[in-house]
Structure 1
Amino acid sequence: MRILRTSGVSDFPAFLTHPGSHPDGHTGNRSNLCSSFCRKMNSISRVHTPTLQLKSFNFMFIKRMIMQIIARTEATTVYCNTAASFPEGVLKAHQLLHQIYPSSEGRHFFGISRPVNGEIEYKAAVSLAPGEQPVTDRFERFVIKKGLFLSSTIHNFMDNIPSIQKTFEHLVKDPRVDHDGYCLEEYPDEKNMICMVTLDDDKVQDMHRKELAKEYGALYENLLSTILSFKEKDYNKRPFSGGWSPAQVVDHIIQATGGLPDQYTMDTDRLYSEKDEMTRSAFLNFDTKMQAPDFLQPEQRDYNRDEQVKTIEGIRDQHMQSIRDKDLFAICLDFEMPVWGTLTRYEWLKFIGYHTTRHIHQLKKIHNAV
């Protein structure tokens, strides 16, 4: 998962503005190309997902296709030429737009489609370069909203027109899609196409709530059973190889994961899961040694296992309540992680899972050694 940041020249495929040309560099049958493009446009805006014929090609395509959530961090103002009809008028809409706004540095080209009064409305659209003013008032102003989109990039899309339909078929199947939104195409260059559909933030959060609740249920069941697997006489005993006792490891877990630093928060200005992979790869690499900061070092004393178990159960319940009730995308401002800075609630909850998993692994190694 990533933030979508586009830069440079964004050009609509060359064959649309140069009749008879093809991205491969050879001349082709323009009517066939236009027909293929119109079939593509017909597929990307369907509200109801067509039934897929599950042939071997489809399985190969599904295996190759990568879908990811991206965040458009700013709203994008575009100027649109609405097609007179769909799909027949799509090509002409883009060609007319390019007559007024040819490709140049800083301009970005889009296709926007959505159902209106039972028909598909398609808009060929362009965003202007910074500081550039529209040269005509004949084109409608439209704002592509900021927020979450489900996306998939098709490389060399003109070489595989059927993949465009299949890409959008899979995108619109996703249960998190905002059905009041729209299908969006972006052309970062003349060979590649980014297919996007708008997502409903609440649906995305609801799915994560279910996933996190399941993860945390298994996580704390594993942690508690591991703690209770130690005999009382071994619980405060440090390993012969040195390091913390089992009780000290548990105390460190309690200190490090006892709550979320979320008394003060702000709306996120980035993808809510942007830092998740960084924390996951760091803490789930068990071959890497880590040193806890001084303020999270356990005391050199004996601990009561039953009291620690009760504390762990309370922490679990508190996190479960946060998963159920709080905005997972908000950035927590009470504490900044070294290197990574501030995290969203979602990232904190994932981090707590990785951190706890790391120390469960440590506890099991200690258990095998005693």
Structure 2
Amino acid sequence: MSISVNDHLVKTRNQLFSTINSLTKEELNKKPASDMWSVSQVCHHLFLAERAFTQSIIYGLKQGISRKADPKPIQFAADRSIKADAPDIVLPGEVSLTMEQIIDELDMSREVLLEVLSRIEDKSLLAERSAKHPLFGHLPLDQWVELIYLHEHRHIEQIEEIKLYIR
């Protein structure tokens, strides 16, 4: 039996919260180096990215003409050995957040995503329509959803690395 996309979303988000739940506010906001993000910046980036992904899904669904795209090898998005620069729209900036603020942001972006997905009567549209991704080009909308948990997994590994420096 395969795990559903929703199960992956839940599992990865729970893993993220488990990874950060023991950190103090100071640890959440401590940068390991001037050119690295803090844990709170990584989490804020995840919030911004999930919002952007959700907007891309909405855009793809609203397109009058269906543009079908071939599936892409998005699994490598979770591979931290492959460097990828975040687009400006999802850069976290210099934020200092509490655990409560991080959880609130991530809960809010997930709630909006799930609401959008729940309103899609014909789920096959997610495979039939696409939106342009900055790294993958035109990406089927169902892969945009998968990319959310793959991207989150990538950053959970990053947080684990950050924790080695800040503790």
Q: Do these two structures clear the TM 0.5 threshold for a shared fold by scoring above it?
A: yes
Shift of residue 230, structure 1, vs aligned partner: 1.4
CA contact (8 A) 1:267 1:329 kept: no
Q: 2:107 aligns with which of 292, 299, 313?
A: 313
By relative contact order (CA 8 Å, sep 6+), the higher-ranking structure is: 2
Q: Tell me the SS of whatever aligns to 2:139.
A: coil
Once the 2 structures are TM-superposed, how far is the Cα of residue 341 of structure 1 from its aligned partner? 1.9
State the AA in 2 paired with 1:297: L
Q: Matches of 1:298 and 1:341 in 2, distance apart? A: 23
Q: Which residue, 136, 145, 151 being the options, matches 1:340?
A: 136
Q: Hey, what does 1:303 align to over in structure 2?
A: 97
Partner SS for 1:329: helix
| Residue aligned with 2:55, SS | coil
Q: CA deviation at 1:311?
A: 1.4
Q: CA deviation at 1:319?
A: 2.6
Aligned residue among 328, 331, 349 for 2:145? 349
Are residues 234 and 331 of structure 1, via their aligned partners in 2, closer, same or farther at CA, if it must alter by over 3 Å? same
The answer on whether the counterparts of 2:9 and 2:148 sit within 8 Å (CA) in structure 1 is no
Counterpart in 1 of 2:55?
260
**Count of aligned pairs between the two proteins:** 156
With normalisation by structure 2, the TM-score equals 0.79
Q: CA deviation at 1:339?
A: 4.6
The aligned residue for residue 5 of structure 2 is 212
Residue 247 of structure 1 deviates from its aligned partner by: 0.8
Change over 3 Å in CA distance of 1:231–1:339 after alignment to 2: closer
3-state SS of the aligned residue for 1:230?
coil
What are the equivalent positions in structure 2 for 1:278-297 lying under 5 Å apart? 278-281=73-76, 283-297=77-91
Q: Runs in 1 of length 4+ with deviation above 6 angstroms?
A: none
**2:29 partner letter:** N
Q: Give the TM-score normalised by structure 1.
A: 0.38
Q: Name the structure 1 match of 2:24.
A: 231
Seq. identity, %? 22
* CA distance in structure 1 between the aligned counterparts of 2:28 and 2:95, rounded to whole angstroms: 12
The residue aligned with 1:362 is: 158
Partners of 1:345 and 1:231 in 2: how far apart? 37
Q: 1:340 to 1:304 in 2, by over 3 A?
A: same
Query: How far apart are residue 249 of structure 1 and its match?
Result: 0.8
**Cα shift at 1:220:** 1.0
- SS of the equivalent of 1:343 reads strand
In structure 2, relative to structure 1, the CA distance for the partners of 1:330 and 1:236 (3 Å cut) is same
Work out the CA distance in 2 between the residues paired with 1:232 and 1:367. Answer: 13
Counterpart contact for 2:78–2:153, Cα < 8 Å: yes
How many Å separate the matches in 1 of 2:33 and 2:68?
48
Cα shift at 1:288: 2.0
Instruction: Give the conservation status (yes or no) of the 8 Å contact 1:260–1:348.
Output: no
Matching residue of 1:102? none
Q: Contact 2:129/2:141 (CA < 8 Å) preserved in 1?
A: yes
In structure 1, stretches of 5+ residues that fail to align are 1-206
Q: Normalized per residue, which structure has more helix?
A: 2
Q: 5 Å matches for 1:49-64?
A: none
| Cα distance, 1:357 vs structure 2 | 0.8
Q: Map residues 32-51 of structure 1 onto 2, 5 A cutoff.
A: none
For 1:239 and 1:308, the matched residues in 2 are separated by 19
- Secondary structure at 1:342 match in 2: strand
Unaligned runs of 5+ residues in structure 2 are none
Pick the structure with greater CA Rg: 1
Identify if the C-alpha distance between structure 1 residues 339 and 316 changes in structure 2 by more than 3 Å, giving closer, same or farther: closer
The structure where strand makes up a greater share of residues is 1
